[in-house]
Amino acid sequence: MMELDNTSLASRLGLCFRSMNISQDRKIIASPWFSTIFGTVGLSSNLFALCVLISSSRKMHSRSRSSFLVFLCGLVVTDFMGLLVTGSIIISYHFTKFDWMEVDPSCYLCNFLGFSMVFFGQCPLLLGATMAGERFFGINRPFSRSGNMSKHRAWAMVGMVWGFSFFLGLLPLLGLGEYSLQYPSSWCFITLLHDINNKVFCMIFALLGILSVGLSFIFNIVSVVTLCRVYHDRESAQRRRDSEVEMMVQLVGIMVIATVCWLPLLIFIIQTVLQEPHTGLLPRQIPRKTENLLLIYLRMVTWNQILDPWVYILFRRAVLKRIYPSFNSRQSIVSLYPVFNPSLRRKFTQESVEQ
């Protein structure tokens, strides 16, 4: 009888309230202090990386390196704002345990949080693919327009990624899918129900993320192979080669982190919406096992925003020289990345030397 009353109540409220959200228990999943420390570490890491990026960009004269730093800056700003916006709402819930039906009966806050989760989630994946594509053309087509991207054009590309992700996040608010409160009532996200609208939006979100990761993988692999083929020992090109290798190492690190953190969630979303609906559930109800797994995968995704800045912070030549004191200014940076050593012996193409 209580479940029927809750279902009736949910029908009178916004679409973000589902049967499971209202009737579920409110056991504590994680300490509010853990969430606070977790968010603070992420914000501090991204803020520190942003300061380092700004300092580096002022000293940088290489066009390829400058455009790469612009994309990195866009990524760090996105991660920082994502943690700040979503974390402020989620951490507030953990401390106050406010009632969503009283605070947000029309689902405005939940829709905003769901939109933020989609926007700040999809942006890093798209930026990673864009960065990989820019380096691909910069290394393989050095004289093309794409291989000589200015700072203004790089910022325009970052703006396009933000704009596309913004439009994607608006789709549920325009009728394609919906955002709903998720277990344990601390966050909102896309709804893994089997009606056509929610299924289509879930597939768009997941497939777009997988496509971004896949493109990043292809572009980065081709770029690394190209660097291996064109490397030589001429001192005149040493500085440029070092810069290219440094950028690729950072880019591969970003790709690996995104793959590990995001692919489980994206694959889980596709599997969930394509499988047969469970029987014996209330209307608009999702099995508890599905909600538990969704929570676990979301926590994995959160690590992406925390680890991204450390890729740039740690994999810089200045840091690596301190880790390896024996490294001197006349040695190649490739000696700091042993994985490249066996194959980096062939002649550097005349095109890359002249760029």
**Per-residue pLDDT tens digits for 44-92:** 999 998 888 887 777 665 556 678 888 989 999 999 999 999 999 988 8
Q: Which alpha helices (H) appear in the chain, and where do they start and end?
A: 2-12, 19-23, 32-59, 63-96, 100-103, 108-140, 151-170, 196-230, 238-274, 288-314, 317-323, 350-354
Under 8 Å between Cβ of 116 and 82? yes
Under 8 Å between Cβ of 90 and 186? yes
Under 8 Å between Cβ of 286 and 20? yes
Mean pLDDT of 282-300: 84
Give pLDDT, residue 335.
Answer: 46
Q: Is the pLDDT of residue 211 over 90?
A: yes
* Residue 336 vs residue 97, higher pLDDT: 97
Under 8 Å between Cβ of 38 and 47? no
Among all chains, which residue has been given the structure tokens 């479940």?
Answer: 3
What are the C-alpha distances in Å from 115 to residues 89, 168, 248, 279?
Answer: 13, 9, 32, 30
Tell me how far apart the alpha carbons of residues 166 and 178 are, in angstroms, rounded to a whole number: 15
The pTM assigned to this predicted structure is 0.81
Contacts of 145 (CB under 8 A, 6+ apart): none
Mean pLDDT of 128-141: 85
**184 alpha carbon, distance to own chain's centre:** 23
Lowest mean pLDDT across 19-33, 191-205, 337-351: 337-351
Residue 190 forms beta bridges with which residues? 179
CATH number of 30-325: 1.20.1070.10
pLDDT per residue over 149-181, tens digit each?
A: 778 888 999 999 999 999 999 999 998 989 998
Task: Give, rounded to a whole angstrom, the gap between the first and last alpha carbons of the chain.
Answer: 74
Q: Is the pLDDT of residue 284 over 60?
A: yes
Nearest to 316 by CA among 41, 125, 78, 48: 48
Tell me how far apart the alpha carbons of residues 78 and 169 are, in angstroms, rounded to a whole number: 15
Q: Find the helix packing angle between 108-140 and 196-230, rounded to 10°.
A: 30
- Domain definitions of the chain by residue range: 30-325
